[in-house]
Amino acid sequence: MTIPHDDLLRYRAEFPILSKKVYLNSCSLGALSTRTRAAVNGFMDDWENWGASAWYRDWIGVLADTRREFAMLIGAGEHEIALLPSVSAALGALASGMSSTFTERPEVITTDLDFPTVHYLWQAWHREGVELTVLPGNGVTVPLEQWEASLSPRTALAMTSHVFFTSGAIQDVQVLTEMAHAQGALSVIDAYQGTGQLPTDVKALGVDVLMTGGLKWLLGGPGIVYLYVREGLIPRFEPLLTGWFANQHQFAFDPNRFEYSSDARRFESGTPPLASVFAGRAGLQILNEIGPQRIRERTSALLYDFIDRARARGWDIRGASMEPEQRAGIALMNVADPTGLTAALKERNIILDYRPGAIRYSTYFYNTVEENTMLLEALDELLR
């Protein structure tokens, strides 16, 4: 199999872990780049050398730059982007801004393949009248027909993943959004396992809300999440979970003058975690520099190099029949002892992850065919 874009291997020098480990776990935590470390060190230098004056010297501008970099990556406007510390915080702000909607449309629909944070938050909102419907998947994905049959005029939100973390399956969120809109509902997309490794154009997809973060494919580490809210929807939300960064008159410091920001910053709250913002911006700059289409082409080819060779050995890959366009850069292989196997691989300096019943492999633009071979040969021995 030909792996495209070998020119991207020049980026390997920016990721020190790649000289020490076979790192095949970007779907859990993206590798740390020297650029990201330098960005965080730059923040610390500002703090040390300038103290509070760093806010107006640099830091406010970095917040705007970070919103702009993410907007560029997903085809949005900077005014449609908010920065938050976690998806939980983003969902909390969103939910607290639509209480009146739940009076007439109490239902939120998600799936049992979505990350549990989604379930936990909406289960907590049951006390505010939200009714959570969880669609059962087939272990790999949830058919669109199932979504269509479940959506109704009682549905407020269709909340689900662009890419399922348990299988790597890509959902057609454009069609799903059209189905939601046909019933008057909004689409809220958890793109944590998608954006960065998949080209994402929110305008072409038509999604209403999209959220993702730096932890995985966006190479920014923990503590930074990006929330996109479609421009026309922004005025509809007045979050109860709020703070001074959501105030249109933020620097007036007037306790009697609160007006929601006219743009997506109304979803922000208190002082942001600046070290994470600096790290996040550096990661986004790398991805915008490369371009998501090139990343997707290389990642998919590396993924199927592994899948094809694993299946030739008779190993059980979840969703093995999925076509390349249906799968992101994640594969799960069913094994008897995923925890033990992951630990044994770590002893060989091969880093991947596990989920119930399977080891989880992921590849990225900085990985190589040779690393796939090293993993496969190690599995040959360990599964003998």
pLDDT tens-digit map of 209-234: 999 999 999 999 999 999 999 999 99
Q: What average pLDDT does the segment 3-21 reach?
A: 99
Q: What is the pLDDT of residue 321?
A: 87
Could you tell me the pLDDT band of residue 337, with boundaries at 50, 70 and 90? Answer: very high
Average pLDDT value for the chain: 98
The model carries a pTM of 0.97
Q: What is the pLDDT of residue 253?
A: 94
Task: Please choose, from the candidates 299, 334, 298, the residue with its C-alpha nearest in 3D space to the C-alpha of residue 319.
Answer: 334
Q: What average pLDDT does the segment 253-261 reach?
A: 97
pLDDT over 80 at 261, yes or no? yes
SS3 67: helix
Q: What average pLDDT does the segment 202-213 reach?
A: 99
Q: What is the pLDDT of residue 347?
A: 98
Q: What average pLDDT does the segment 204-210 reach?
A: 99
* Span 23-76, pLDDT tens digits: 999 999 999 999 999 999 999 999 999 999 999 999 999 999 999 999 999 999
User: What is the rounded CA–CA span in Å between residue 30 and residue 26?
Assistant: 4
Q: What is the pLDDT of residue 267?
A: 99
The fraction of the chain above a pLDDT of 70, given in percent, is: 100
Q: Which conformational region is residue 314 in: left (phi greater than 0), alpha (psi within -120 to 50 degrees), or beta? A: left
pLDDT over 90 at 1, yes or no? no
46: amino acid identity, one letter: D
Could you tell me the pLDDT band of residue 11, with boundaries at 50, 70 and 90? Answer: very high
Q: What is the pLDDT of residue 51?
A: 98
- At residue 301, φ and ψ (nearest 5 deg) are -65, -45
* Span 107-166, pLDDT tens digits: 999 999 999 999 999 999 999 999 999 999 999 999 999 999 999 999 999 999 999 999
Task: Please choose, from the candidates 366, 362, 335, 336, the residue with its C-alpha nearest in 3D space to the C-alpha of residue 351.
Answer: 362
Domain boundaries, given as residue ranges, for the chain? 6-24+292-382, 37-288
Q: What is the pLDDT of residue 138?
A: 96
Q: Which CATH architecture has domain 6-24+292-382?
A: Alpha-Beta Complex (3.90)
Q: What is the pLDDT of residue 60?
A: 97
Tell me which DSSP letter residue 189 carries.
E
Contact status, residue 194 vs residue 68, Cβ threshold 8 Å: no
Report whether CATH 1.20.1090.10 matches the domain 37-288: no
